[in-house]
């Protein structure tokens, strides 16, 4: 894929903002960025020196690739509207882990996926070089060109089909979304009790460091793993009094760690 590749980015939220910056930083040409709110489009366009647009009618028909970085629920609608503005032969991809590429099929002859398997928040800079970029397309030549595009920003580029990507996304929800929610519970408990959440950060860090090199299943520790019912009962008693909303997740996680612990044990003793 040559330096002259022209890219248009539709959606400048968590993914679009960082992807746009990265594509620009590696020397690729992002011609336009689109957002329904022009201020958001301009926030990125000023950084990457391109045109900001808020109407799809203003979109250039000259780009080689159109990247839809919009919420999953909006992909089809945006694709339908876009198809009224650009030739149907253009390559249009989206960045979702969960939505199949075929959602674009009714609107474009050439469609695909450019899914960065990472968590993005607009306020946090990410290092793209090791982010797995999952690419796919209905045409072999586009799979190859998307792979090439991915390699411009990352060393980890993979051809992953819709089925595989949807499975990866389920696993990603567990390892990121759910673990982050568990950190949030830890933060809520410590801050309510006026204890510093910082005290837990080395533990969080070590949990992640360990599973990078060893199986998380083998690294599991704690009262559930040990079958330590006395400690579990103490925890449940405390939660019942102070955070009843977390009892169910505590019980579910405990049972999931150690299926030998029966539901009776996990029920809090009177
Ligand atoms: N965040 C992540 O960690 C992550 C990671 C990998 C992949 N993804 C995927 O990347 C895609 C974008 O996610 P995101 O987190 O970047 O979302 P986001 O932060 O909510 O940004 C979505 C962007 O789309 C625009 N938008 C929203 N609704 C729209 C509509 N109906 N029509 C046109 N534009 C609309 C929003 O701006 P305006 O409202 O101003 O138009 C915004 O620029 C999703 O498919 C998501 O599954 C997300």
What domains can you pick out in the chain, each with its CATH number?
Answer: 6-160 (3.40.50.720), 167-266 (1.10.1040.20)
- Ligand 1, atom 41: nearest CA belongs to which residue? 36
Answer whether 81 contacts ligand 1 (Cβ < 6 A). Answer: no
* Gap between the Cα atoms of 82 and 69, Å rounded: 13
Q: How far apart are CA 103 and CA 79, in angstroms?
A: 9
Distance 10 CA to ligand 1 centre (A): 9
**pTM for this one?**
0.94
| CB distance 112 to 137 below 8 Å | yes
How many A from CA of 34 to the centre of ligand 1?
11
The shares of helix, strand and coil residues in the chain, as percent rounded to the nearest 5, are 55, 15, 30
- Contacts of residue 122, defined as CB under 8 A and 6 or more positions apart, other chains included, come to 13, 14, 17, 18
Specify the pLDDT at position 267.
72
Give 109's DSSP letter.
S
| Residue 54 phi, psi (nearest 5) | -120, -5
Q: What is the pLDDT of residue 207?
A: 97
71: CA distance to ligand 1 center in Å?
4
Compute, in angstroms, the gap from residue 35 CA to the centroid of ligand 1.
10
Q: Decide: 40 in ligand 1 pocket, CB within 6 A.
A: yes
CA angle 33, 39, 43 (to 5 degrees): 60
pLDDT in tens, the chain (270 residues): 445 689 999 999 999 999 999 999 999 999 999 999 999 999 999 999 999 999 999 999 999 999 999 999 999 999 999 999 999 999 999 999 999 999 999 999 999 999 999 999 999 999 999 999 999 999 999 999 999 999 999 999 999 999 999 999 999 999 999 999 999 999 999 999 999 999 999 999 999 999 999 999 999 999 999 999 999 999 999 999 999 999 999 999 999 999 998 766 667 655
Calpha distance 134→98 (Å, rounded) = 12
Integer angstrom CA distances of residue 10 from 18, 20, 33, 49, 141: 13, 10, 6, 16, 23
* H-helix or E-strand spanning residue 182: helix 179-192
Per-residue confidence (pLDDT) for residue 238, from 0 to 100? 97
Buried b (16+ CB within 10 A) or exposed e, 144-158: ebbbebbebbbeebb
Q: How far apart are CA 74 and CA 10, in angstroms?
A: 11
For position 1, what pLDDT does the model report?
44
For ligand 1, is residue 70 a contact (CB within 6 Å)? yes
State residue 5's pLDDT score: 83
pLDDT at 261: 86
Q: What tokens does 152 get?
A: 């411009």
Matching residue, tokens 């993979």: 158
């Amino acid at each position: 894929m040559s330096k002259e590749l022209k890219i248009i980015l539709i959606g400048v939220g968590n993914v679009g903002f960082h992807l746009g910056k990265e594509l620009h930083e590696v020397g690729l040409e992002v011609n336009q960025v689109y957002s329904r709110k022009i201020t958001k489009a301009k926030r990125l366009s000023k950084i990457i020196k391109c045109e900001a647009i808020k109407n799809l009618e203003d979109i250039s028909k000259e780009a080689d690739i159109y990247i839809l970085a919009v919420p999953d629920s909006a992909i089809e609608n945006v694709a339908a509207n876009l198809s009224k503005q650009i030739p149907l032969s253009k390559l249009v991809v989206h960045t979702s882990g969960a939505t199949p590429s075929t959602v674009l099929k009714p609107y474009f002859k050439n469609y695909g996926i450019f899914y960065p398997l990472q968590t993005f928040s607009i306020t946090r800079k990410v290092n793209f070089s090791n982010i797995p970029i999952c690419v796919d397309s209905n045409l072999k030549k586009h799979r190859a060109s998307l792979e090439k595009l991915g390699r411009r920003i990352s060393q980890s580029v993979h051809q992953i089909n819709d089925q595989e990507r949807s499975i990866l996304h389920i696993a990603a929800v567990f390892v990121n979304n759910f673990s982050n929610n568990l950190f949030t519970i830890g933060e809520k408990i410590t801050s309510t009790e006026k204890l510093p959440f910082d005290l837990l950060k080395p533990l969080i860090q070590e949990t992640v460091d360990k599973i990078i090199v060893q199986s998380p299943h083998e690294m599991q520790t704690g009262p559930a793993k040990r079958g330590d019912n006395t400690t579990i009962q103490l925890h449940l008693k405390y939660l019942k009094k102070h955070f009843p909303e977390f009892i169910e997740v505590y019980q579910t996680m405990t049972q999931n760690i150690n299926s030998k612990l029966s539901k009776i044990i996990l029920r809090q003793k009177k």
